[in-house]
């Protein structure tokens, strides 16, 4: 170790300001200079304490602080719920001088021992009710609360559009991108753009907004087109898929490009917005690279440029403890990263620098967070700094063991599905995001054959061990996938969003287009009948026998599905099972065209019989029917349909659906709809009703830390497929930025 790497910043060129931490606040995740030169800093809680965020104005010359906003006094915080503990990368400036921002949560509820946001996502009393958007006048200290734009979601990064009627933001849990109309309070959801937890948004010179997925794929929102464009530009990591790679900082350069860098690697990209050409400038690390923590937590902390666009940033280093150093990089003129010294004023070593800003006098102000002395601001007269020589005194460094804010090491809090092996198929990496939602899967010969598509219908093939598709091809460009079901002859029928029927063999891939009667536009396909016929339903729930060879359909008398998610179950060639109104179960006779009410009812929560609609089910090999309802109740009917056994509810209020056989008497299925956090469950008469967990590969989790595959977080599950021969379960996403996850050894790992 050389002396200059151990030297601290010269104290004579710095000024230290302690931010308020008397109540336990230990972080500050927004620090911005306004267009009129005023500085604002959020003081946040990121600990085991149930704290609410504060916003201060900071005087860069005197170091004075003035409280602008106490969120707890501007928004009613229920004492049992998770509090609005942060204002995180969401502060921006309206043209009239007011501030707009959103709250975020990383503090537990008062009754919790640790922060468990996702574990309490659907808990109405102890979870996070959702982030609020606030507008604050810094002169009068008056705040206006716009409410919760996305219930249960935590806003993790926000930015005003050039058209200041619109405020754009990201959701932590689901990874969606949203727009809030500040005139009408209308919220528009543009869909999934990240696995989860990506926070940085930056605009180019034309007002287009850039962000990235958690795993480093860049995307752009163009207000003129009002749509998301996946750029197929990605940060590249020397560590493969081991760590997160999200965009963390970005700057507009004087040559019209964007300089973008990520965590944990700190790769510096220069993106040319008009051509999408990328210049890779290498990593932000010193040459040669300095010591790093054996398990990487972050790389770069804060990023700012002086008047000559010389870059300054905090850089992670490791000397028996994680701490930061200040680095300078004259990148436009071909320089290399230059060490300026460790950030440890009077021994108060910096754990992480969240943001930094220059003032009008050329001083750099950086904010330390999440350490033993946090939060604080250190102002640095960088014009007087040079690389410390060997004679420079060493900084006061102590081996402080800071908690890893990202890592979940409590197996009682693990949410993922456990298996002997887990692999992610990141379709978003290899396809247009809009076409990655999976609508159909077939397992054959050790391979997955899938049908996907939001705007087109595509076929994918994936082998048993790969993490990328062996083949992706477009079958139809007139519309996207809407519904699909197998025919008796082994072919598959696909209903498209533009009202066409495609007949195809998923293994071979050739598709034949068949015109449909208008009645079935927007409908669903259910199951095979004789020959080339299939049971289908229209938007109003009327049921048809559809001849897939001719495209003709005949509406059936005496049968109607009462909700858009109602399940229709084939019992045999003559009889079908379905829900009537309320808890009523019906047996439909195809030969007579009549439905008979069963003597048993679907199980329901008392007073919620209106939510007892059958939404999924499957027949066991002995003829027992196992089904689930819209309210999440599981039950079984004997083969004679005379006796019912209820097994209760899995979780919250989400539906049970997409049942598949995993053995003679073992059933797997899906819990949850588009707004729920999807789970996979298992049922057998002997083993009962069990939750297998959520389909996610999140390596900030000790149970998945060493999984050698891409990260994934499927919130809305489309469907599942299971091969008993291989004990292989596939779980697929219903959203754009889609993926599928393959689990091997599921039964053995859960036995």
pLDDT at 406 over 70: no
Residue 439 to residue 720: CA distance in whole angstroms: 10
Give domain status of residue 593, yes or no. yes
Q: Is the peptide bond before 325 cis (omega within 30 degrees of 0)?
A: no
What is the average pLDDT value for the chain, to the nearest integer? 95
At residue 656 the predicted structure's pLDDT band, cuts being 50, 70 and 90, is very high
Given 345, 366, 384, which residue is the final one in a domain? Answer: 384
Report the phi/psi class of residue 649: left, alpha or beta, with left for phi > 0 and alpha for psi in -120 to 50.
Answer: beta
Q: What is the pLDDT of residue 2?
A: 52
Q: What is the pLDDT of residue 747?
A: 55
Q: What is the pLDDT of residue 288?
A: 85
- Do 239 and 295 share a domain, yes or no? yes
Cα–Cα distances (Å) from 317 to 40, 128, 300, 342, in that order, read: 28, 34, 10, 9
CB contact at 8 A, 618 and 661: yes
- Do 352 and 480 share a domain, yes or no? no
pLDDT digits over 335-351, tens only? 999 999 999 999 999 99
Give domain status of residue 442, yes or no. yes
CB contact at 8 A, 174 and 196: yes
DSSP label at residue 44: B
pLDDT digits over 197-230, tens only? 999 999 999 999 999 999 999 999 999 999 999 9
pLDDT digits over 410-438, tens only? 889 999 999 999 999 999 999 999 999 99
CA angle in degrees (0–180, nearest 5) for 48-51-57: 130
Q: CB-based contacts of 308: which residues, under 8 Å, 6+ apart? A: 330
Given 384, 419, 443, which residue is the final one in a domain? Answer: 384
Is the Cα dihedral 109, 113, 115, 116 positive or negative?
Answer: negative
> What is the total count of domains within the chain?
2
pLDDT at 496 over 90: yes
Q: Tell me how long the chain is.
A: 751
Cα–Cα distances (Å) from 111 to 49, 53, 580, 582, in that order, read: 10, 19, 43, 38
φ, ψ of residue 669 to 5 degrees: the values are -155, 180
Give domain status of residue 426, yes or no. yes
- Do 375 and 444 share a domain, yes or no? no
Give domain status of residue 397, yes or no. no
CB contact at 8 A, 29 and 42: yes
- Do 371 and 479 share a domain, yes or no? no
Give domain status of residue 290, yes or no. yes
SS3 call for 199:
coil
Give domain status of residue 399, yes or no. no
DSSP label at residue 182: T
pLDDT at 112 over 90: yes
CB contact at 8 A, 354 and 28: yes
- Do 549 and 690 share a domain, yes or no? yes
pLDDT digits over 614-633, tens only? 999 999 999 999 999 999 99
- Do 58 and 205 share a domain, yes or no? yes
Residue 571 to residue 584: CA distance in whole angstroms: 17
- Do 107 and 255 share a domain, yes or no? yes
Q: What is the pLDDT of residue 374?
A: 96
- Do 303 and 428 share a domain, yes or no? no
The H or E element that residue 741 is part of is: strand 740-744
Domain span including residue 510? 411-750
Give domain status of residue 422, yes or no. yes
pLDDT at 123 over 70: yes
Q: CB-based contacts of 94: which residues, under 8 Å, 6+ apart? A: 100, 135, 160, 164
Q: Is the peptide bond before 264 cis (omega within 30 degrees of 0)?
A: yes
Q: What is the pLDDT of residue 69?
A: 98
Closest CA to 190 of 738, 740, 736: 736
Residue 188 to residue 180: CA distance in whole angstroms: 7
Give domain status of residue 404, yes or no. no
Closest CA to 344 of 10, 728, 576, 706: 10
- Do 604 and 488 share a domain, yes or no? yes
Q: What is the pLDDT of residue 409?
A: 80
φ, ψ of residue 4 to 5 degrees: the values are -65, -25
pLDDT at 748 over 70: no
The position carrying tokens 């410390």 is 388
Report the phi/psi class of residue 477: left, alpha or beta, with left for phi > 0 and alpha for psi in -120 to 50.
Answer: alpha
The DSSP bridge partners found for residue 67 are: 56
At residue 1 the predicted structure's pLDDT band, cuts being 50, 70 and 90, is very low
pLDDT at 750 over 80: no
The DSSP bridge partners found for residue 738 are: none
The position carrying tokens 């229920």 is 78
Residue 492 to residue 723: CA distance in whole angstroms: 18
Query: Residue 96's CB: how many other CB atoms inside 10 A?
Result: 8
pLDDT digits over 262-321, tens only? 999 999 999 999 999 999 999 999 998 788 888 888 899 999 999 999 999 999 998 888
- Do 415 and 380 share a domain, yes or no? no
Q: CB-based contacts of 562: which residues, under 8 Å, 6+ apart? A: 541, 579, 580, 581, 613
Is this structure's pTM higher than 0.95?
yes
pLDDT digits over 54-101, tens only? 999 999 999 999 999 999 999 999 999 999 999 999 999 999 999 999
At residue 129 the predicted structure's pLDDT band, cuts being 50, 70 and 90, is very high
pLDDT at 405 over 70: no
Alpha carbon 387 to chain centroid, angstroms? 41
Average pLDDT of the segment spanning 686-702: 94
- Do 332 and 446 share a domain, yes or no? no
CATH of the domain at 685: 2.130.10.10
- Do 427 and 380 share a domain, yes or no? no
Would you state the torsion angle of the CA atoms of residues 71, 76, 79, 81, taken in this order, to the nearest 10 degrees? -80
């Amino acid at each position: 170790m050389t002396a200059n790497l151990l030297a601290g910043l010269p104290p004579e060129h710095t000024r230290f300001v302690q931010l308020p931490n008397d109540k336990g606040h230990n972080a500050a995740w927004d620090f911005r200079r306004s267009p009129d030169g005023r500085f604002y800093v959020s003081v946040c809680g990121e600990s085991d304490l149930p704290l609410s965020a504060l916003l201060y104005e900071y005087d860069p010359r005197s170091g004075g602080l003035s409280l602008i906003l106490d969120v707890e006094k501007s928004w009613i915080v229920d004492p049992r719920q998770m509090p609005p503990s942060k204002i995180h990368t969401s502060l921006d400036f309206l043209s009239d001088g007011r501030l707009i921002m959103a709250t975020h949560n990383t503090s537990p509820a008062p009754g919790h021992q640790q922060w468990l946001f996702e574990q309490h996502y659907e808990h109405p009393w102890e979870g996070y009710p959702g982030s609020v958007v606030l507008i604050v006048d810094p002169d009068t200290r008056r705040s206006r609360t716009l409410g919760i734009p996305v219930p249960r979601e935590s806003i993790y990064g926000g930015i005003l559009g050039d058209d200041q009627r619109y405020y754009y933001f990201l959701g932590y849990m689901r990874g969606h991108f949203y727009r809030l109309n500040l005139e009408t309070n209308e919220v528009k959801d543009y869909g999934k753009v990240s696995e989860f937890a990506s926070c940085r948004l930056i605009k180019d010179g034309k007002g287009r907004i850039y962000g990235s997925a958690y795993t480093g794929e860049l995307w752009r929102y163009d207000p003129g087109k009002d749509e998301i464009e996946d750029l197929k530009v990605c940060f590249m990591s020397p560590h493969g898929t081991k760590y997160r790679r999200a965009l963390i900082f970005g700057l507009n350069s004087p040559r019209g490009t964007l300089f973008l860098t990520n965590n944990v690697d700190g790769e510096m990209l220069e993106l040319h917005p008009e051509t999408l050409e990328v210049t890779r400038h290498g990593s932000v690390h010193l040459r040669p690279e300095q010591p790093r923590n054996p398990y990487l937590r972050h790389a770069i902390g804060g990023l700012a440029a002086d008047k000559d666009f010389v870059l300054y940033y905090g850089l992670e280093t490791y000397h028996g403890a994680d701490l930061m150093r200040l680095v300078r990089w004259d990148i436009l003129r071909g320089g290399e990263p230059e060490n300026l010294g460790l950030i440890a004023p009077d021994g108060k070593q910096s754990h992480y620098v969240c943001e930094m800003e220059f003032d009008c006098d050329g001083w750099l102000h950086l904010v330390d967070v999440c350490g033993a002395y946090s939060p604080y601001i250190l102002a640095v007269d960088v014009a007087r700094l040079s690389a410390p020589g060997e004679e420079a005194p060493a900084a006061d460094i102590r081996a402080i063991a800071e908690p890893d804010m990202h890592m979940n090491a409590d197996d009682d809090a693990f949410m993922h599905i456990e298996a002997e092996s887990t692999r992610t198929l990141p379709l978003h990496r290899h396809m247009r995001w809009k076409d990655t939602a999976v609508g159909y899967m077939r397992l054959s010969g050790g391979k997955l054959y899938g049908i996907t598509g939001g705007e087109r219908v595509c076929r994918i093939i994936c082998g048993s061990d790969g993490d990328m598709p062996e083949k992706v091809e477009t079958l139809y460009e007139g519309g996207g996938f809407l519904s699909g079901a197998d025919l008796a002859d082994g072919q598959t029928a696909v209903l498209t969003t533009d009202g066409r029927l495609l007949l195809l063999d998923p293994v071979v891939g050739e598709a034949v287009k068949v015109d449909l009667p208008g009645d079935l536009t927007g409908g669903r396909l259910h199951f095979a009948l004789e020959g080339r016929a299939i049971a289908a339903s229209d938007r109003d729930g009327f049921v048809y026998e559809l001849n897939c060879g001719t495209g003709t359909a005949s509406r059936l008398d005496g049968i109607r599905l009462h909700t858009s998610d109602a399940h229709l179950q084939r019992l045999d060639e003559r009889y079908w099972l379905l829900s009537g109104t309320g808890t009523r179960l019906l047996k439909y006779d195809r030969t007579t065209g009549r439905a008979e009410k069963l003597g048993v009812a679907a199980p329901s929560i008392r007073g919620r019989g209106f939510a007892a609609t059958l939404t999924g089910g499957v027949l066991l090999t002995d003829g027992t029917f196992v089904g689930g309802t819209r309210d999440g109740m599981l039950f079984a009917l004997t083969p004679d349909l005379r006796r019912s056994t209820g097994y209760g509810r899995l979780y919250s209020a989400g539906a049970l659906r997409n049942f598949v056989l995993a053995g003679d008497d073992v059933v797997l299925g899906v819990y949850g709809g588009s707004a729920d956090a999807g789970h996979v469950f298992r049922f057998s008469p002997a083993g009962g009703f069990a939750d297998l967990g959520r389909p996610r590969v999140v390596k900030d989790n000790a149970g998945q830390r060493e999984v050698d595959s891409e990260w994934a977080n499927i919130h809305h599950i489309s469907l599942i497929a299971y091969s008993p021969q291989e004990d292989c379960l596939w779980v697929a996403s219903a959203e754009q930025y889609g993926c599928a996850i393959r689990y091997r050894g599921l039964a053995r790992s859960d036995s």
